[in-house]
Amino acid sequence: MTRLLVRDLAQLATPSAGPAPLRGRALRDVTVIEDAYVLCRDGVIEAVGPMRDLDARSTAALDDELDGRHLCAVPGLVDCHTHPAWGGDRVAEFSLRAGGASYEELHAAGGGILATVRATRALDDGELQARVARHAEWMLRHGTTTWEGKSGYGLDRETELASLRAIRAAGGSPTWLGAHAVPPEFEDADSYLDFTLAEVLPEASQLADAADVFLERGAFDAAQARRYLGACRDAGLSLRLHGDQFTESGAIPLAVELGARSVDHLEATGDDGARRLAASDVVGVLLPASALFLDRPMPPGRSLVDAGAAVALATDFNPGSSFTESLPVVTTLACTQLHLAPEEALSAVTINAAHVLGLAHDRGRIAPGLRADLVLLAADDWRHLGYHLAGDIVVHVIQDGVLRR
């Protein structure tokens, strides 16, 4: 048995109990305890409360104690949308975009995603594993204790499966993004889908927790996305969609029809789409760092929340459209660009993100019985999580009861 006490915290902030995903007023329901402690035992939170309630019995037989003075605790952050399995980089494209080239133009010219596909295929398994492990380490430094990672830069059998294995090995929840782009060796999207559903899905479905598709002009249309996701669902995977990033192409109705866990991006979603999403159990995953990085319109976060939609926030970490691993930065963007309250943003990067991954029963809040994942922030008020733009705010990270940073 190992026991860790975090004591004398200036504040502890956690989404309150309630059925996930949180929506409407419940998204703001954050419990704040001043002068707090958290006791962890064997990777699980044993007790939480104000210091005055900490009894001597609880402090007997501790293995470790952490001084929380002038620090705030929030739940370990959950990044429910990342693309960590890639080789090379896209810094040359970044320069071109700085000069005015658009992301869609670069994609159409065989750059963009397909440039990363070439670089990823060139890695051997060990190199790919090392890349994913490096990215997981970056995320941890910014307070991410649970993350989802997508394949989608292989698009051949070997590299897709190696990506899923590398993501699992680095501690992530793998999503098979087999329908990210059509690789150059195929004539069209349908013949590529024939191949990948026959040759890759049987094994990918054993390695992944979910499947995802890029439903967009120039990638896969709604009929192709329905075919891909239907086959993945039949193989036991939960479903995600990249939708409404540049154009509204039917992603929300399809997500609702198929009972997907989430539809992600939503920069182009209008009022109708927002209403349909709000009336469903599908979570809208907002990726404001991607909109910022591509200089695109922000997703309508405030309207979605006001309409009653369940929302989560994620980085979309990838080398092309969102080269950041920082959920604290995403929290800043949520508050300043999407006009979410800090409380709503906290729920969206913790409990609701955990729900998207099917993990809300054991993480995403600070409460007895949940996994001991905590982030300690260098501030006396937990709202510095978003307030301190790109600040050096994460002091300690506890994952599964172990001090990782």
Instruction: Using CB under 5 A, list all residues that contact Fe ion.
Output: 316
Token pair of 338 as six digits? 């999407």
Task: Kindly state the smallest distance separating residue 49's Cβ from ligand NIG, in Å.
Answer: 40
Name which of 261 and 371 has its Cβ closer to ligand NIG: 261
Q: Looking at 4-12, 108-116, 273-281, 335-343, which segment touches ligand NIG (CB under 6 A)?
A: 108-116
Q: Which of 143, 284, 320, 364 binds ligand NIG (CB under 6 A)?
A: 320
For ligand NIG, the nearest residue by Cβ is 320
The pairing of strands 30-41 and 44-50 is antiparallel
Residue type, 306: D
How far apart CA 23 and CA 227 sit, in angstroms, is 30
Span interacting with ligand NIG, options 18-26, 125-133, 314-322, 361-369, rule CB under 6 A: 314-322
Q: Is 383 an interacting residue with respect to ligand NIG (CB under 6 A)?
A: no
Q: Cα separation of 310 and 134, whole Å? A: 31
Cis peptide before 297 (omega within 30 of 0): no
- CB 57 to ligand NIG: min, Å: 49
Helices and strands counted in the chain (H then E): 17, 16
Q: How far is the CB of 245 from ligand NIG (least distance, A)?
A: 5
The 8 Å CB, 24+ separation contacts for 53-58 are 54/7, 58/5
* Choice from 245, 262, 280, 332 touching ligand NIG (CB under 6 A): 245
CA distance 330 to 336: 10
CB of 380 to Fe ion, least distance (A): 35
Give the whole-angstrom CA distance, residue 59 versus residue 34: 19
Distance in Å, CB of 150 to ligand NIG, minimum:
8
Give the Cβ contact number of residue 266 at 10 Å: 28
CA 83 from chain centre, in angstroms, equals 9
Contacts of 102 (CB under 8 A, 6+ apart): none
Q: How far is the CB of 242 from ligand NIG (least distance, A)?
A: 5
Strands 72-75, 374-377: pairing kind = antiparallel
- Using CB under 6 A as the binding rule, the residues of this chain from 262 to 301 that contact ligand NIG are 290
Name which of residues 51 to 90 contact ligand NIG (CB under 6 A): 83
How many binding residues for ligand NIG (CB under 6 A)?
A: 14
> Should residue 315 be labelled a site residue for ligand NIG when binding is judged by CB under 6 A?
no
151 is an interface residue for ligand NIG by CB under 6 A: no
286 token code pair? 């907002």
Among 316, 325, 343, 373, binds ligand NIG (CB under 6 A): 316
Distance of alpha carbon 101 from alpha carbon 267, whole angstroms: 19
Q: What residues numbered 192-221 form the site for ligand NIG, per CB under 6 A?
A: 214
Select the binding partner of residue 147 from ligand NIG, Fe ion, none (C-beta < 5 to 8 A, by kind).
Answer: none
Q: CB-wise, 45 or 232, nearer to Fe ion? A: 232
Decide if residue 116 touches ligand NIG (CB under 6 A).
yes
Q: Is 175 in the site for ligand NIG (CB under 6 A)?
A: no
Q: Is 113 in the site for ligand NIG (CB under 6 A)?
A: yes
Among 30, 28, 26, residue whose Cα is nearest residue 365: 30
Per-position DSSP letters for 282-307, written without gaps between them: -EEEE-HHHHHHTT-PPP-HHHHHHH
User: Taking CB under 6 A as the rule, does residue 160 contact ligand NIG?
Assistant: no
Q: Binding residues for ligand NIG, per CB under 6 A?
A: 83, 112-113, 116, 214, 242, 245, 290, 316, 318-322
